Structure 1
Amino acid sequence: MAAPRNVAAPGDIPWLLRDIENGGGGGGGGGGGAEEEDSPSAKKPKSEKFPFNTWEFGIAIGVFFVFSTVLFCIYLTMPSAEKGHIKLPRTLSDLRLLKDHLSTYASNYPAQFILGYCSTYIFMQTFMIPGTIFMSLLAGALFGVVRGIMLVVFNATAGASSCFFLSKLIGRPLVSWLWPEKLRFFQAEIAKRRDKLFNYMLFLRVTPTLPNLFINLASPIVDVPFHTFFLGTFIGLIPAAYITVRAGLALGDLKSVRDLYDIKTLSVLFLIGFVAILPTLLKRKRVYE
């Protein structure tokens, strides 16, 4: 395996700040010039055909409808007093208000609340809706570290898996249309690391090397086995989930989402990622010797 510096450029680091919750976060983005280079507007003319055909688009709409129906049914079971306060948070101010309104509901109806929380989180992950980092912070604020991490890791893994299977079914034209260069790069990296693919997936999940959104969508296209994807996601998202959930305990003191990931935190994440790929690096060294 190549050394980590060959996997990510320094400009790719900001992906974590916008994408970590689409991975536990989770969530997706791009890094600096790479995002502009691989954007549809940079790569494709505006008149190019939409990537989905009628059948693929129908499947996407059908899955979206099923998720939406489940969420609507859960919403109908909520007390009337709480319904007016439900909305997806987009800022820390929104999140603080939502936390205040939901604290009593979460205490009085824990099963209903967790069902609604999990369904919303998985729905957002499946359809690449930004904002799961706020859901992770909310888990810490309402449930504490241990239960919060369990919720976040479960939902982030389930949502990533759901996105994986949806992409396996209809995602190839979309990923090829949006990120043709990144897809070719990722496919080449996966091909070189087939013997230690689990270690590489761990590295990708722990570090901000590639956006979690892109990993979820591209993995089935480049033939990453689901069990490797699942285990790498489940274990690899724990460090980021811990950081986010811990921050949720002091939600009132948090000034910006970017405060979650300073240089020290990013250094620790890369250190953990380096440990994950160390067996592969040592194996390559022995081969070259």
Structure 2
Amino acid sequence: MDPVGELTVTRVRPLTPRMSRVSFTAPAGLVHWPDQQLKLMFPRDGTLPLPPSDGDDMRWYQAYLAIPEKSRPWLRSFTVRRHDPSRGEIDVDFVLHGAAGPAVRWARAAAPGQVVGRSGPAEIYRKPLRAGDWYLFAGDETALPAIGSLLESLAPSARALVFVEVAAAGEEQPLSTPDGAEVRWLHRAAGESVVGAVRAASFPAGTVSAWLAGEAGAVRTLRRHLVDERGIDRREIDFTGYWRKKLTQDDAPTEEDMAEAMERLELAEETG
């Protein structure tokens, strides 16, 4: 599969008042896995110049930065929620939050036939879940596509605790879960939060494989809680800050962002 290419919209449908599902033509040769990440490129000035990749998963980004800023597509990261080989489609879910950035503006007007650029998915970023006696998934609505795909990958006998923070009850979605999974929805409108719920939760016995994603500050707080207060080995926690309050992916990384990135690299080296 070419690392860089175009995706064409085939279908658009609402999931909740604040989330929309967009189906695209699947890239030729796609191999799908849970929590599969890809980057989408949205037209800035009505055109869509794509960087040449030369078949290299990493070199394309330098070519992307070389595109003049006034026409360089906006770049945002997403999760492939589902791959349907029979239809030749992939699904990507968009959170239609209040801050109308380029991805949100595009998603609100998305229609069949429209085209975006993509980079990935790349096998180098594939991260299978660590084995554990039970699983902990925690995040906000931006983490829902990944959480949904991870739950669907678990064995029918798997045990899992799932915490999802959404705006209100109308944002809850059906999730396919093993019989041993418990999903707890937290509603910001009612003053509930994923951080507070995880802190207050009773955990099952046994070793845990934890997965955390969502707003970067909340993810860092949750991870510190699991390591410092629950005594969980940091190597058993997969964590990603998807977004930052008052900042976008176009803004420079903060010192905390850089420290988190370095720790993720160190953990990757430790775990092989």
TM-score, normalized by length of structure 1? 0.28
Q: Which has the higher helix share?
A: 1
Q: Which has the higher strand share?
A: 2
Query: Which is bigger in relative contact order (C-alpha 8 A, separation at least 6)?
Result: 1
TM-score, normalized by length of structure 2? 0.29
